[in-house]
Amino acid sequence: MSTLLPALITLVLLLAPFLTAKADPPAPTALHDFNIPAQSLDSALIQLAQQADVEIYMSTAGLRGLTGNPITGRMRLEEALRRLLSGRGIQYSLSGGPERPVIQIITPSDVSEKERLALMPLAIEADYDPALQRHEDGHNAVYDRNYSSVYIDKRQIERNKGSAPADVFKGMLNVYSGDPRNSGAIDPNIRGIQGPGRVPLTIDGTEQALTAYRGYNGANNRNYIDPNLLSSIQVIKGPSLERDVRSGVGGAVVARTLEVDDILSPDRTSGGELRVEYANNAAKANPPTLLSGQDYRTIPGFLQPGESPSAPWNDPSLRVTPRTSGQNDLLSGNDQAYRLALGTRQERFELLGAYAFREKGNHYAGKRKAGFYSHPVTDPDRPTDSYATSMALYWKPGQEVLNTSNRMESWLLKGRLILSDEQDLRLGIRDTSALYGEIMPSRLEYANNKGHVQWPLSHVQSQAYNLEYRLEPSDNPWLDLHANLWMTRTHSDTYTRGGFPNAATESDPILWDSAIANASNDRYGLTLSNRLLLLDTLDLTLGGSFQHEKMDSNDRANDATGNAFALPHAGTREEYELNYNFNWRPIAPLTIEIGGRYSSYWAFDDYLHQQQKMGNQLTKSLFVGRRVSYATRETRSLSEQEWQGKLDSAIGSVSWFWDMLGFTDEQKQTAIDEIKSSLPRSETVDVQHNQIWYHDGTGRYDRAGNPCINGSLDGLELIIDSQQQTCVVGGLVGETQVPANAHKQKGYGWVPSYSLTFELSQHSRVYFRHSQALRYPSMFESTYGFSTNIDPHIKHLKPEHTYDYEISYISDISYRLKNNKKLDIKIGYYHHKTKNMIERDTNLNLNNMDRHEIQGIELESRYDSDTLFTELGITKTIKNKSCDESFAILADPTSGSVPDCVDNGFPRGYLITQSVPKYSATWLIGKRFLENRLELGVKTTYYHKQNYNNYHKTSELASAQGNAFSNIPFQWRSTTIYDTYIDYKISESIRLELAANNLLNTYYIDPLSRSLVAAPGRSVRIGTAIEF
C-alpha cells in the first residue's frame, strides 16, 4: 500500500485535463426527476419547484392543514403537480415560457384581492443538486414520514467512521451495534432488538449477514460493510411496510452506496474525487506466527501446570507486550484511508467506479476516568462479578488494545442505463476484503495477562451484485414498478470456532489451528413493488420478495481434539413475502394506512443430512424430567413385633445389671414394667425421597409440577442439608437416545399493519401506528451446532410474532422563525412486544420464550439558521422485560425466587447482552462561517450506566454466576463522549477536514459489548477531499 498513494495521485494528474471541463448547460426538457416524500403541502410544493427549477406563487394561508401526496420518478411538471395536489381541492395554473415555467397555486376558497396581491414569488435555488436534495429528503423524512427513523448522509458517514465500521451508528438515537470492537463488522441493534432477521441490513437492496459463533457468549449477526463506499444510511425503527425495504421485527437498516451525484457537482458530466485520510491512536498489528506442525512438547513453556494441550490458555507464542499511546503518531500510517471515485453522467447513461482502502492497527485505550474499571477481583470463586470493573488492570489506560486492528479494501462499480424518460436499468457490483483482529471472549477468562493475548487475524471476502429496473410512466397511474435482482457471496475464515490457534492432544502432539472456522454463505433474491393510484385520495402499493440462502463449510466434522463445538453449520433456507399497503386520505387532515403481509419459509440442515448419508448417525438425548430430592424427619408407629423387639433389646441391655445387684423376680418385673411404660410405640426417622419433575413433553417446565415450590411439601419436617437446602432439583433423568435426523422446517403466517395520521394544523400532526411482523428461525438457529441446538424435545421453533405500537407528535415550528430557519421537534412513545421470542435457555438450547417487551420514549429535534445549527435526541427505555415461566423456574428451580418476568433477560441467554442503556442522548451543535465555507461542530454522546444489579438473583448456580461461560453481561458506568470536527472548503474542488473522536480521552467500554475490549481513546484525523 505504500506505493498506492503516489500511483493514485499520478492517475489523477493524468486524467485531470480530460475530466475537469464543465458540461454545457443541459437542454431544456419537459421531464424532471422528482423525489418528494409526504409532508406539509407548502413544503412539498417548494421541493417540487426546487427539483424542477421553476418559479412558484402561492399563499401559505390557504394551504394550512394540508399534506402533499408523495411523488417519485421521472415525469413532466404538470403530471407531478397533478399527483402532488390530487384530492386536495387545490387548483394551479402554469404560465411562462418553456425555459422558465411559472406555477401559481389557487386555493378553493374565494381569495380576496388583498390576498391575491399578497401572493409573492418564493426564492427557488436555480442550481438543483440531486445529491444535496436526496440527502435533504433523507433528513426531512425523520420528521415528514409517519414512522420513526434516523438518517445520516455521506458527509456524516465520513466524519463518523471512527476506528471501526460500527462507529457509523454513533450519534444515531437508540441505534447500536453489538460487540463493536471485536469483529470488524456491524451487528445492528434498534431499541434493544438485535439478531439475525430481526434487524436486516441491506446495501443497495442486497443482504449479506453472517451469524458468528461466540461460544458460550452467544452469537453475532455480522454485516461486513465498508463505510468508505456509502452515500447514506437510513434506520427505520420498528416493523415497516416501506416500499423496497426489507424490514424485520425490530426495523431495518437501509444503506446506499455512492452515486454519481455524490461525486460530480451538477455542472459536470465527468470527473472524480480523491479522498485521503490519516489518523493517530493506532499501533501496527503484529499477529503471531502459528506453530502448526510442531510438537508441543518441544516448545518451552507451552503448557502451564494443570493445562491440557487441547486448551493451552497461556500459549507463549500468543503473548505480546502492548505498546503505549506515547508511541502515537498522526502520520505514522498506522491508520490511513484512501478513496478514489470516478464518474460520468451522460444523456443516456451514468457510470461510477470507486476504490477504497483503509488500514488501521490496534487502537489505544483512553486514559481518563478509568477508576470504575480498576477494581481488583474480590472473590476468586466468582471472578466475573468484577470482570468488567477490573478490565483496566489488564487493558491498561493509554495502552494498546490487542485484537482491534482492521484492514479493509473495496471496489465498487455502478452503472445506470436510461432506456427512456420513464424507465431505467441500474447495475451494481461490489467487492470487499476485510482482515481484522478478534478473539473468542471465553479464551480470555482463564488466561494470565489477559491484555497481552494477540490472536491471528480473521479474513472475510464478500461480493455483491444487483440489477435494478424501474418503470415509472407518467401517463399510467396504475404502473410504478420497481424490481431488484441481487446476489451476495461471502467466504470467511474467522477465529470463531471455539478452539485455540495452537492446539493438540496427548495422543497426537502435533499442533494445529482448532480456533479458525471456515464458512461460505451465498444468497440471492428478488424484490418487486408496484404503486397504483386508484383514486385521487387512494394509493395502493403491492410488494413481494424472495430470498434463497446457502451456508457451507470446509471444516472437518470432528477435529483432532474431539471437541463437539467444532461442528460446522451447513444448510439451505428460503423465505418469501407478499405485502400490500393502502394509503387513503378521506378528508384533508386525515391519512389512513392499512396493510398486511404474508410470509413463509423453509430451512434444511445439510450437515445432518450429509452425516446421515455417510453413515455417521448423530443422536440427541431426550429426558422425561429432572430429579427432585429431599429428606423428611417423620414419626411412625411401631408394629407390635417391632415394639416387642425394642423392649427385648432394652431389657437385655440392663438385665446383667439386675443380676449383679441381685434383683428378685418381683423387682425385675417392676423394672420391666417401668421400661414398658416409658418405651414409645413410635419413632422418628429420616426418610430420603426422590421424585421426578416432569416437563410437558416439549422440554418446558412449570412451577405446579415442581415439588420444591408447589406446596406439596408444606407441613413436612424437612431436613436441611450441608448446602443449607431442604429440597434440591438435580440433573436430567430418564434419558433416551434418538436419531438426530435432518428434516425440512417450515412456517408461514399473515400479519396486519395500520396507521392513522391526523394533522392538527398546517405545521403539526400526530400519528398512531400498529405494525405486526413475523420472524422465522434464521439459518444459524435452524442448523446443528454446539450451544445453539434446538431443544431436542421439539421438532422445530415457532416463528416470533411481534406487535409494535407507536404514537408520535411532530411539529414544524419553522413558520414562527424568520429567514428560512428550520425548527422541528418530534416526541414519541413506543411499545414493542414479541411473542415466542427465540432465546437460548439455561441448558444452552434454543427454545421459544413466552414474550419479550420493550417500552420507551424518544425525543428528536433540530434547528438550523444557516449559520448556527443543532440536533438533540434523548431517549428513555421505560421497560425491558423477558417473560417465561419455564425459563424463570429453571433459573432457580429449588426456591423459585426468580419471577416469570425479569429485567433485560434470563441467565445464559442472548437477550441480556442486547439490552440498551436506560437513558441515552446525542447532541450536535455547530456553526458555519465565511459564507458556509467553514464549519465547526461538536457532538456529544451520553450512555447511562448499566449495573445488572439483579442479574445474580436470576442465576441457576453460584458457579454459573461467576462464570463467563454463562454469557455474563458486562457492566459499564455512565459515559459521555465528545467528538469535534472542523470542515473547511478551501475552494470549489478542495475540502479539508480535521476531526477528533473521544476528545477527552475517556476510558470506557461500549454498550452491548460481548467481548471485554476497551474502546478507543482520543484519536485525531486529518483528511482532504479533492474533486476534479
544-561: pLDDT as tens digits = 999 999 999 887 655 333
Q: How far apart are CA 861 and CA 827, in angstroms?
A: 9
Question: At 852, which helix (H) or strand (E)?
Answer: strand 845-864
In tens, the pLDDT along 385-404 reads 567 888 899 899 999 999 99
CATH 2.170.130.10 for domain 132-256, yes or no, is yes
CATH code for the structural domain at 37-128: 3.55.50.30
**Pairing outcome for strands 55-58 and 102-106:** parallel
Q: Which three cell numbers stand for residue 177?
A: 451495534
In tens, the pLDDT along 329-357 reads 777 789 999 999 999 999 899 999 999 99
- Which residue shows C-alpha cell 445439510? 606
Q: Which three cell numbers stand for residue 150?
A: 434516523
Average pLDDT over residues 429-456: 88
Average pLDDT over residues 288-315: 91
pLDDT at res. 682:
86
Least confident of 190-194, 657-661, 981-985, 990-994: 657-661
User: Would you mind telling me the total number of residues written for the chain in this entry?
Assistant: 1028
pLDDT at res. 560:
34
- R_g of the chain computed on alpha carbons: 34
pLDDT at res. 685:
86
Q: How far apart are CA 406 and CA 185, in angstroms?
A: 10
In tens, the pLDDT along 996-1010 reads 999 999 999 999 988
By C-alpha distance, which of 84, 72, 69, 70 is closest to 33? 72
Reply yes or no on whether the pLDDT at 119 is more than 70: no
Q: Which amino acid is at 759?
A: E
CB distance 812 to 824 below 8 Å: yes
Least confident of 169-183, 195-209, 723-737, 768-782: 723-737
Least confident of 354-358, 525-529, 653-657, 928-932: 653-657
In tens, the pLDDT along 124-160 reads 444 568 888 889 889 999 999 999 999 999 999 999 8
Reply yes or no on whether the pLDDT at 784 is more than 90: no
Confidence of residue 952 (pLDDT cuts 50, 70, 90): low
Reply yes or no on whether the pLDDT at 113 is more than 50: no
Reply yes or no on whether the pLDDT at 906 is more than 90: no
Instruction: Give residues with Cβ within 8 angstroms of 885, minimum separation 6.
Output: 701, 702, 703, 850, 900
- Which residue shows C-alpha cell 430481526? 198
Instruction: Give residues with Cβ within 8 angstroms of 689, minimum separation 6.
Output: 629, 630, 631, 632
Question: In the chain, what percentage of residues exceed pLDDT 90?
Answer: 57
In tens, the pLDDT along 819-842 reads 778 899 999 999 999 999 999 887
- Kindly list the distances between the CA atom of residue 502 and the CA atoms of 117, 315, 403, 499, 923, in Å, as whole numbers in the listed order: 85, 8, 17, 9, 47
Average pLDDT over residues 242-271: 95
Question: At 229, which helix (H) or strand (E)?
Answer: none
Q: How far apart are CA 539 and CA 580, in angstroms?
A: 11
CB distance 173 to 920 below 8 Å: yes
More confident residue, 793 or 567: 793
Average pLDDT over residues 247-257: 97
Average pLDDT over residues 739-745: 88
User: Same topology for domains 37-128 and 132-256, yes or no?
Assistant: no
CB distance 872 to 861 below 8 Å: yes
Reply yes or no on whether the pLDDT at 274 is more than 60: yes
By C-alpha distance, which of 124, 115, 68 is closest to 96? 124
CB distance 425 to 467 below 8 Å: yes
pLDDT at res. 151:
97
Average pLDDT over residues 1-19: 40
Average pLDDT over residues 862-876: 96
Helices (H) and strands (E) in the chain, counts: 13, 49
Which of the listed ranges 60-64, 686-690, 996-1000 does the model predict with the highest average pLDDT? 996-1000
Q: How far apart are CA 228 and CA 355, in angstroms?
A: 9
More confident residue, 314 or 277: 277
More confident residue, 881 or 70: 881
Instruction: Provide the 3-class DSSP secondary structure of residue 905.
Output: coil
- What CATH fold (topology level) applies to the domain 257-623+738-1027? Maltoporin; Chain A (2.40.170)
Domain boundaries, the chain: 37-128, 132-256, 257-623+738-1027, 639-679
Compute φ and ψ for 1021, nearest 5 degrees. Answer: -125, 135
Average pLDDT over residues 91-98: 74
For CA atoms 558, 559, 562, 563, the dihedral sign is negative
Least confident of 255-264, 485-494, 798-807, 966-975: 966-975
Confidence of residue 22 (pLDDT cuts 50, 70, 90): very low
pLDDT at res. 563:
42
- Kindly list the distances between the CA atom of residue 40 and the CA atoms of 60, 589, 812, in Å, as whole numbers in the listed order: 11, 11, 9
More confident residue, 106 or 87: 106
- Kindly list the distances between the CA atom of residue 254 and the CA atoms of 73, 76, 138, 652, in Å, as whole numbers in the listed order: 20, 29, 11, 93
Q: Over the chain, what is the mean pLDDT?
A: 87
Reply yes or no on whether the pLDDT at 212 is more than 70: yes
pLDDT at res. 909:
86
By C-alpha distance, which of 155, 34, 43 is closest to 83? 34
pLDDT at res. 10:
36
- Which residue shows C-alpha cell 434446538? 790
Q: How far apart are CA 395 and CA 385, in angstroms?
A: 17
What's the pTM? 0.85
Other Cβ atoms less than 10 A from the Cβ of 226: the count is 26
pLDDT at res. 8:
44
Which of the listed ranges 117-131, 655-669, 852-866 does the model predict with the highest average pLDDT? 852-866
